[in-house]
Structure formats: C-alpha cells, structure tokens
Chain A
Amino acid sequence: MNLDFSDDQKFLQDEAKKFFDKEGGLSNARTVMDDGLEGDASLWKKIVELGWTGIRVPEAYEGLGLGHLELCVIAEELGRSLAPVPFSSSVYFFTEAIIKFGSEEIKSDLLPKLVSGEIVGTYGIAEDMHQATESNLNVSVEAEKINGVKIAVPDAGMASQMIVVVKSSAGTDLRLVDLNDDSVTVTPQKNLDTSRAFFKVEFKNASSKLIGESGKGWQYIQHLLDQAAVLFAFEQVGGSQAALDMAKAYSMERFAFGRQIGSYQAIKHKLADMYIAVTLAKSNCYYGAWALSSESAELPLAAATARVSATKAFQLCSKENIQTHGGNGFTWEYDCHLFYKRSKVLSVLLGSEATWKEKLVKNLEKTNTLAKG
C-alpha cells in the first residue's frame, strides 16, 4: 500500500511552496484584485521559467515528460497561495486537450510554445446561466467557421489560443481558435473574484481547427473536465488548508473576555469541523490522483468524489475563517475574503456542486459493489 506521493514529488511540492511564499504569497492575488489586472504576468513568467508549464508535455515536444502526480502537488500550492495565474486554464485544460486529442501537426506547433510560455491557452464551455449540456449548445461550426458567444471564459486576456466546445453537424466538436484573429472579440466580464479574470468571447465566422474527431467533442470535454476536477480539487484543498491555518492563527492571538478565542469550544469545534472536511477532501483527492495518474476506469467517480468533497471543504473553511475573524474578517484589509471569493469561483468554474454530485451518483448507479476499506 503506497497511497502517497514520492519523495521527488514531495520535494517538488516543497519547492513550489517556498517559491510562492518568496514571491509574496497572497499579496499577488491582492494586487491583481486591487489593480484590476488580468493576472500576474511576472509571476506567470517565473512559473514558466521553473518549467511547470511543461510538466506533462512529452520530451519530444520540449516538455519534462512527467506525470499527473507532479501537477497535483503544484496545484495544491497554487491553491494555498491563491496564485493569480492562468495555470489551470492553460495547463490542466488546454495543454491536456492538445496532448490527448491534438493531431501531430497541432502538437508539434503548440506544445513547445505552451512549454516556453510563448502562448497561453484557455477553454470555453458556458454560454449562459445554465449548466451546459450537449443539447443546449448554441455556438456552432460550419465549414470550419465558428459563430456564437462563450461567456465566463477564464484567462482569455492573457491567452492567445482557445479550445471551444461547439455544436457541429456530427454532434459536438472541440475546435481550436486563435484569439488574436479579427473575427474574435474578447471582452472582460465582472466577476465575484477579481483576483481572477473572466471574459466574454464572441466569434463571427472565426477560423478554427478540429481537435480529435468530429462528433466526439462532448466525450472529450467530459474526460478533460474529469481530469481537471482532480487538479482543481487539489487547489481547493490547498486553499482550504490555508484558510484553516489563518483561522487557527487568529484564534490564538485574538483575546475576548480575557482569554484566547481559540480556547472556546465554539471556536475549537468549528475549527475541528474544518479539519475534518479538509482531511476527507484530501484523502478523496489522493484517490483522484491515483485514478488520474493510473488512467483508471474509476476516474469519473474518483474525480467527482474529489471535486464534491473539496468544493465543500473550501467553501466551509473560507466562510468559517471569516466568522472566526469576526468584524475584521469582513474588511477588505484582512485576507479572509480572498479565500471566500476564490472558493466560490472554483466551486462553479468546472460546474456547480449539484452538477458534480449528479455525476457522482450517475457513476454509483453503474457500479454494483463498492470495495470497502
């Protein structure tokens, strides 16, 4: 039994933690938020220099050729520091889509550029305030040209390439679009967490290239979502742990009625419940990491379980961190709101908790027996 990361992977995580601390920790997210930026370009440049954009890219395409587990440990640290960079869009999603489903020509063209940071990629699924399904897509492709509008597209400001989920004559396709094309308009959208940027992307006869086979786009996107869900869950666990650590530190230093508030059971039990939620989420993430890295058929169930568990943990920890801080927690000055807002954005970015619970139960319906621990 070895449900653990290797020493090398733990070393990488430790390096990542030190890196984000050295680069200013939460202050980067705060700067992006206060200055209305699209992301932290200088932090992103340093991440590229560390080689993390190439972790999963095969060596033939100038990457490091490592596995998903290395991404998991970095994701946890990105989450802990709320790093305001397009890592999830470009690495968990776009790069994975190209590696898994791209043609040789597209791979040779894009993968080295993704590794070197020459390009950043993103993806577009949502079109309105409803859960996207294969039957309600409006953005469509005809003769390689795309028309329609995607919304809530993360990082489209820093990105130059985008994977778009579109309706096609064969069903659903994944199409690659160059965001710098004149036929594409990218407009910022206001959102709850301004340490991250979201955009409306409008296509008017935009040129596109097919990724993988026509008609298989929905199947591809589900797989990419499952993979990304595990990595997002690690980010959520990192954020949960950081919010818990912050609440703990404050409960030790804040006095009320002549004693540390952390000596009251009301606070202790709140923090214990946060610890329980983080521990369950982390263990579910390890299961997800195993399924992801071993390309197990259990990935859809493991991903949904990690995702739901981590979404619950981060939302609990971030809201109870504010509560533990009392009035201070409601000020812009204290960092509590950074976690609260990021937890909400991460909880909907890949689809809501209800959406993932439904995926989880659909997978349970297919199984007849569950192995017990």
Chain B
Amino acid sequence: MDFNDTPEQAKFRAKCREWLEANAELKESKSNGHNASSLEDHLKVAKTWQQKKYEAGWAMLHWPKEYGGIEASPIERIIWGQEEAKFNVPGGIFEIGLGMCGPVMMQYASEEQKDRYLAPMAEGKEIWCQLFSEPAAGSDVAGLRSKAERDGDDWIINGQKVWTSGAHYSDFGILVVRHDPDVAKHKGLTFFFVDMKSPGITVKPIKQITGQAGSGSGFNEVYFDDVRIPDSQRLGEIGDGWKVAITTLMNERLAVGDAKGSDIEEALILSKSKDDAGEALIKNDSVRERLADWFCEANGLKYTKFRTISALSKGEAPGPEASITKIVSANKLQEIGNFGIDSGDMAGMLIDENDGVSSFQGAWLGAPGLRIAGGTDEILRNVIAERVLGLPQDPRADKGLAFKDIPTKA
C-alpha cells in the first residue's frame, strides 16, 4: 500500500511535466486559474493552447493512433490531467468534443467525414457541443420530442434543446431527435451531427439562478426551425439513436466528477480565522461536529478516487465506488456554502468580494445546479441501486406504449 507511481508512470509524469514546464506557467496558488477578460479572449487563448498540445501530441491522449492520439491508458490520462491542472492554462472548451463527440464520430461516421472533422476537432480549430436534453426531457432524456422528418436526401429538424454547454461558440454539434412518434420511446430516435451555423438554428443563453448568463453560464437553449441536415450526417441506423446516445453518455459519466468549489479546507480556514462573539468559530461545538462530518466525506471521496486510480494503475477495471462522487460532493458543497454564509451572521447575505465569504456564496448558489447536472441526486441513487446493487427497475408507465400515447399531463 503506497501512493507512489510505478517506474513507468513516474517516467510518463516526468515527460508531461517537462513539456508543461517548457510551454506553460505554474499556478501561483491552486485556486488561481486562467482568467480572461472576455469570451473572445478566452477562446483565443484556449485554441492556441489546444493547438500547441496537438502539435506536441498531448491534445487527445486516449484517441487511437490512426486519429493522432497515443492510445494512452486511463492512468496516463489521469497523470496528464493532474500535471496540467498545476499550470495556468485555459480549459473548459474542448472537453465535450474530445471526450464525447470525437469517439462517437470515430465509431459511426464515414471515413471521409472522419478525415474532414477529427483533426480540426483535436487541433482546436473547430469546437463541438452536445444537443440531448430538452425542456420536457431531462432525467428521462429518451422522452425527447424534437422532430426529424425525411425530405429526400435530407432531414428537416424542428424543436428545442436546452442546457447545451458552449452552443454559442460551437461549430458543430451531435444531436438526437425523434424520427418516429408511432413506435416506443427508445425506438423512434435517430442520431446526427449538425453544423451549428445551419440556417434555422437559434442559440439563446440561459440565465441561471446565479444571475450568470451568456458566456458566464455557458449554457444555452438551442432552437431548431426547419433546419436541414443531409442524411449523410446521420450517425448509426435510423432508429438506433438511443444506442448511440447511450455510448456517448457513458463517456459523460466518466467526465462528471467532483463538484469544484468551497470544500473542507476552505471551511476549516474560515472556522479558524473568523470570530464568533470573540471566539474563533472552530471553538463552537456545532461547527466542530460539522467539520468532522465534512472531513469524513471529503477524505472518503479523496481515497475513493485513489482506490479507482489504483485499480487503473494495475490495469484492472475499477469497481463501482466512483459512482458516489458527485452525489456526495455536490451536497457537501451546498452545506459548506451555507455554512460560510452563516458565518457572516446578520450580514451574511451581503456580497463583498473581499470579505472572505463570497466564494461560499458562490458555492451555495451554484450547488443546486451541480445536484442536477449530469444526473440528479435521485437518478444517481437509482443508478447505484439498479446498476451497482442490482435492484429491479421501477415499473414504467410508458412501457410498451407508442411515444405519442405516453401521458404528459394529469
């Protein structure tokens, strides 16, 4: 039992480190990330960095060699991620493309399309997004209602997608829509990729409860009004849309991890530094009890991750333990955010960037979103119960019904 790299891993880490040191600057503190003044600036910096990585072979480590990757093992991807995170470099733009869209294109697109699209995606020249969720289809995403109707060699798309990260700056998107409402829910779906500049596509930013909108939130509604997609951009067979989407979502599950933001360390620092009626907060018994609980959760997640990495490190398939990560971390974030605000007592609601509480306010405002994104707490509990523990599925009221006959209101 130890926390050390194997000799090969240490060698790989040194290689990552060497290149990063030559091409980027170390962060001064762990919270100090890349800050750009505008979305345009951020995209420019992110594209340049991606290009640099691409040229040196660090852009899409896990991709097959034929598409320019190095077929890195999961542990090598983790090592690269750990090292890159120590440097002041931009992120958050290409993950969906490289993690979800690229693999689905490799599996289902024609050779010609792969030649055309994969390299610009990897190089950072073209940005991709994912168009699945809809206003009436969140947890039950297979209940989506956007329509695809055949018209000669094309399909005509009408409907609305929602919570699309980066749609406002994306060049292409992957899309699942309903081509047949007369068959069962999962059977009437078909998968495409679409040029986001196509006529009839309108992207509107979502204003979140945080007050952020547009480039601030990164989330959008995307409207499709008679958008024409050639049949050649269909991925998978007609009616196989759900199968293709599931493959893609599996990749997303791997990507959604820890809720970032105020954690036990920040709560501890606040508890030690902030006074409550002349005494440090940490002297208060109710605070001590909560610190102990949060530490058990944070530490438990940290070592759960280490167990997963250990399995990957040995070339074994990790156990299902990582399935607890988001549910625990998002709820902990919400509680710690709440605690930070309470530490200001009567004035805890006031927003002042310099009072040491604003990061907790941000955590508290953002946490409800994290408890929903990438699988709600409730869906994740179902996933644990059904896939990890093997409990039976709920009986479904829509089972065996044609999609158009599924009840949608009381």
Contact = CB atoms under 8 A, between A and B. Distances in A.
Nearest to A288: B303
B253 interface: no
B289 interface: yes
Interface stretch (A109-117, A137-145, A185-193, A259-267): A259-267
B299 interface: yes
A69 B2 CA distance: 12
Interface string A257-275: 0011011110111011101
A244 B309 CA distance: 25
A281 B293 CA distance: 12
Contact of A373 (B268, B306, B392): B306
Contact of A263 (B303, B327, B392): B392
A170 B293 CA distance: 37
Interface string B275-313: 000000010000011011101111111111111011101
B1 A308 contact: no
A294 B1 contact: yes
B293 to A, nearest CB: 8
Most buried by A among B5, B304, B305: B304
A279 B320 CA distance: 10
Nearest to B30: A372
Contact of B384 (A4, A262, A275, A294): A275
Contacts of B302: 283, 287, 372-373
B265 A283 contact: no
A321 to B, nearest CB: 13
Most buried by A among B263, B299, B300: B300
B354 interface: no
B409 to A, nearest CB: 21
Interface string B247-278: 00000000000100001110010001000000
Contacts of A286: 1, 303, 306-307
A56 to B, nearest CB: 16
B385 A3 contact: no
A101 interface: no
A123 interface: no
Given A4-B310, A361-B288, A372 B263 contact: yes
Interface in B1-46: 1-5, 9, 30
B408 interface: no
A348 interface: no
B345 interface: no
Interface string A351-371: 000100110110011000110
B301 A283 contact: yes
Q: B interface, how many residues as a size bin?
A: 35 or more
B346 interface: no
A365 B304 CA distance: 24
B389 interface: yes
B392 A357 contact: no
Contacts, number: 168
B390 interface: yes
Nearest to B268: A364
The prevalent SS among residues of A at the interface is helix
Contacts of A357: 288-289, 292-293
Interface in A46-77: 69
Contact of B310 (A3, A244, A282): A3
Most buried by B among A264, A287, A358: A287
A1 B310 contact: yes
A357 B395 CA distance: 42
B312 to A, nearest CB: 9
A2 B313 contact: yes
B311 A4 contact: yes
Contacts of B30: 372
A286 B293 CA distance: 18
Given A1-B3, A4-B310, A275 B389 contact: yes
A41 interface: no
Contacts of B299: 283-284, 287, 305, 309
A144 B302 CA distance: 48
A1 B13 CA distance: 12
Interface in B382-410: 382, 384-386, 388-395
A5 interface: yes
A258 to B, nearest CB: 9
B359 to A, nearest CB: 15
A2 B378 contact: no
Given A268-B381, A305-B296, A357-B292, A5 B309 contact: no
A360 B265 CA distance: 14
23 contacts: A1-B3, A2-B314, A3-B306, A4-B1, A4-B307, A4-B311, A259-B395, A260-B391, A269-B378, A275-B384, A279-B304, A280-B300, A283-B321, A312-B296, A357-B289, A358-B288, A358-B292, A360-B295, A364-B268, A370-B264, A373-B258, A373-B303, A373-B306
Given A1-B9, A2-B314, A309-B296, 13 more contacts: A248-B389, A263-B395, A265-B382, A269-B385, A276-B327, A283-B302, A284-B300, A287-B302, A309-B300, A357-B288, A358-B288, A364-B291, A372-B30
Interface of B: 1-5, 9, 30, 258, 263-265, 268, 272, 282, 288-289, 291-293, 295-307, 309-311, 313-314, 321, 324, 327-328, 378, 380-382, 384-386, 388-395
3 closest Cβ pairs, A-B complex:
A280-B300, A373-B302, A268-B385
